[in-house]
Amino acid sequence: MIFYNLFLYFLFPFAILRLFSKKEFNAAQISRIKERLGPKEYTNCKEPIWIHAVSVGEVKVAALLVKELKKKYPNSNFLITTSTVTGSNEVNKNFSTEIAHQYLPYDLNSFIKKFLSSLNPKCLILVETEIWPNLINNCNRANIPVILLNGRMSEKSLSKYLKFPKFFNKIFSKLDLVVAQSKSDLENFKKLGVDSKSITEDYSLKFSKSSSEESFETIKKNPRESSKKIIVCASTHPNEEVFLIDSFSKLDNTKFHLVLIPRHTHRASEITEIFDEKKLSYGIFSDFLDLNSEITLVDKMGYVESFFKIADIAFIGGTIVPHGGQNFLEAVKYGLPIFSGPHTYNFKDISEDLQRLQILNIIDSIEDLALEWGEFPHDSQIKELSQNYLSSRQGAVQRSVEKLVVLVKD
């Protein structure tokens, strides 16, 4: 731990500078830098049930957990910490002011100790895989149970942790409960030192229905162009937009309309430069979808499901480049034919299930994607298959909460 801590102290000033360099960082965020150094001043947040959710997807899972946990712990306080600006914004959207929220302090011993001694949480629930050695060590010393729910451990992540096996085995062995998303995730956690008595497997919590699923914005379309098929490409990453645009350019633009939703919306100006270079007509989404242009670029957060509601075809980003993919289940929920690139290792089991059901099609060339889109998959069974698939995997949130009750006292 000595070398790890020395390394963190060396990196600390650069981490602060990096905050200021981020495009989404503004004056409001500057006022919150103190949160990354320790606890905020709370009027009523002693001994909270503490959930750490890195960003948007994890915060949505946290919303499901809080709803269920409140049934078991009606008198408890709750604290949600996040690591990103977008995650923080999602907390403000999903939770009432009764739920305390701040950024997770940096993983320096002094900050973590101050945070824990001030709040004395009943437990720490990590959503998916967010491993901070000092955080876990200090919770362990303070007898605060550390619970990892919706645990995910891809082969790529595993290989990174195994570069320092002794160090990370000690950290992972201190997790009191791990609920892994799949058998392969479970086996990978065991390789990292998680006690077999402390680990179990269940379906992804993202299969559970969102408590706020009816609150998405309604997208209005130009009725004169409603016959166009809408292709929604969600959570795209750098270098993927060119691939998707080139595929789309091979289609008849009187029959199809492309919607691009980048994973990070601050990249909008970078993407419009591509449109200009290729002389494509495009619009920037502002609550109204004008299908007269060829392409719509969405430069707002929180609209993925809104667009899936009106889509005919979905493409999931982070799969053409080796990022490992984003959440497929939002598109499955709306019964859409789904396309992706070959890099789906973050959601290995789910992508294999969807391929087997012929809901997901893996594409690795511009020509193949254009051909598949052009033939427009309209299998009426996809909707039914999608709903059956989701229905058979409900209840993971309730089961996860039942498992942690043994560790967390009211």
Per-residue pLDDT of the chain (410 residues; tens, 9 = 90+): 888 999 998 998 888 887 777 665 566 667 688 899 988 888 678 899 999 999 888 999 999 999 999 999 999 999 999 998 889 988 988 888 889 999 999 999 999 999 999 999 999 999 998 899 999 999 999 999 999 999 999 999 999 999 999 999 999 999 999 999 999 999 999 999 999 999 999 999 988 865 444 445 567 665 545 688 999 999 999 999 999 999 999 999 899 999 999 999 889 999 999 999 999 999 998 766 777 889 999 998 888 989 999 999 999 999 999 999 999 999 999 999 999 999 999 999 999 999 999 999 999 999 999 999 998 766 679 999 999 999 999 999 999 999 999 999 87
For residue 61, the tally of other CB atoms under 10 A from its CB is 23
**Confidence at residue 16, expressed as pLDDT on a 0 to 100 scale:** 80
∠ CA 115-117-121, rounded to 5°? 80
**Confidence at residue 86, expressed as pLDDT on a 0 to 100 scale:** 85
pTM over 0.85: yes
CB 238, CB 267: distance < 8 Å: yes
363-369 contacts: CB < 8 A, separation 24 or more? 363/339, 366/243, 366/246, 366/247, 366/250, 367/247, 367/250, 369/243, 369/244, 369/247, 369/339
**Confidence at residue 98, expressed as pLDDT on a 0 to 100 scale:** 83
We find that the CATH architecture of domain 216-391 is 3-Layer(aba) Sandwich (3.40)
**Confidence at residue 377, expressed as pLDDT on a 0 to 100 scale:** 66
In the chain, list all ranges with CATH 3.40.50.11720. 28-208+395-404
Residue appearing with tokens 């990892």: 148
Query: Can you tell me the distance from the alpha carbon of 400 to that of 288, in angstroms, rounded to the nearest whole number?
Result: 40
**Confidence at residue 215, expressed as pLDDT on a 0 to 100 scale:** 43
**Confidence at residue 356, expressed as pLDDT on a 0 to 100 scale:** 96
| E strand segments, 268-404 | 282-284, 288-289, 295-297, 313-316, 338-340, 360-362
What tokens does 18 get? 């990096």
Helix (H) or strand (E) holding 179: strand 177-180
We find that the CATH architecture of domain 28-208+395-404 is 3-Layer(aba) Sandwich (3.40)
What tokens does 371 get? 């051909």
In the chain, list all ranges with CATH 3.40.50.2000. 216-391
